[in-house]
Amino acid sequence: MARITQVREIRPVLVLCILGALLLVAAQDGQATPWAEVAAPSSGPPTVIGGVSNGCIGGADALPESGPGYVSIRRYRNRYYGHPELLRFVQDMGRAQQSRGERLIMIGDLSQPRGGRMPSSHRSHQNGLDVDIWFTLADSPAAARRLMDDRADPQSMVQAGGRSVSAAWGPAQHSLIEAAARHPGVDRIFVNAAIKQALCRNSDSADRDWLRKIRPWWNHDAHFHVRLRCPAGSPDCESQAALPGDDGCAAVLA
């Protein structure tokens, strides 16, 4: 009887997440997962459960296809869902971009309708707190769709060999990632090491605290990956370890 009582006390959305995780035990890389078959979010308040690489989300919201300063691309993947805080972040980024010019930020994958493991591209993005943002800006929503919906990625910002940024990198890209890192809800951002080095070299020496959020990681040369902190009201959300206190620009970066 005690065991039955304990099960009844578990929140329904947490039960769904646990069941989904159990179904994935037998799944192999590259195969469809049960999460990808779910077409719509669950009902109820937004709740982040588990970690970014082993979690899910209840009550997710859908990011509108476009808004001031941004356009959501590759909608056919059905990966444009997230916690309301993530959608607010995207909208904040869009408004900041709108203040800088007429071109649009291209927003890539968020999460699936109820999160969970995706069949391709990502191991993270599972609990509604991750989003990919492309460095290439679009002239219009139609131009973004022409560029992205053929499944080809925009140009890399890093030269062949991975040692330095390419001619495609410029002030617009620097401003974009700096604005993301300065957002109070952002926990960390993953980007190619050469881009991190460029940011370290060209940032104000007196105001560098935002650089600590920029973490060098393989690939991530045409886009950067933003991860938010666990939001209030999600006690089952698992945070990552705290970042180091320095700006991450020491010799070890090279």
Residue 20 within a domain: yes
| 130/225 Cα distance (integer angstroms) | 7
Tell me which residue of 105, 94, 84 sits closest to 148, measured CA to CA.
Answer: 105
Cα 114–Cα 120–Cα 124 angle in degrees, nearest 5: 55
Q: Is residue 214 part of a domain?
A: yes
Look at residues 67, 59, 61, 65 and name the one whose alpha carbon lies nearest to residue 91. Answer: 67
The parent domain of residue 188 ranges over: 2-240
| H or E segment to which residue 104 belongs | strand 104-107
Q: What does the pLDDT look like over 7-60, one tens digit per residue?
A: 334 465 555 565 554 444 444 444 568 999 999 999 999 999 999 999 999 999
Query: At 57, which amino acid appears?
Result: I
Q: Does 249 fall in a domain?
A: no
- As a whole number of Å, the CA-based R_g of the chain is 19
Q: Which pTM does this prediction carry?
A: 0.88
Residue 251, in any domain of the structure: no
Q: Does residue 193 belong to any structural domain of this protein?
A: yes
| 135 belongs to a structural domain | yes
Number of domains in the chain: 1
Residues 129-179 pLDDT 10s: 999 999 999 999 999 988 887 667 889 999 998 889 999 999 999 999 999
Tokens of 61: 């919201």
Tell me, what CATH number does 85's domain have? Answer: 3.30.1380.10
Inside any domain, residue 254: no
Strand 66-67 relative to strand 61-62: parallel, antiparallel, unpaired?
unpaired
Helix axes 84-100, 171-182, angle to 10 degrees: 140
Residue 246 counted as domain residue: no
Whether 89 and 129 have beta carbons less than 8 Å apart is answered as no
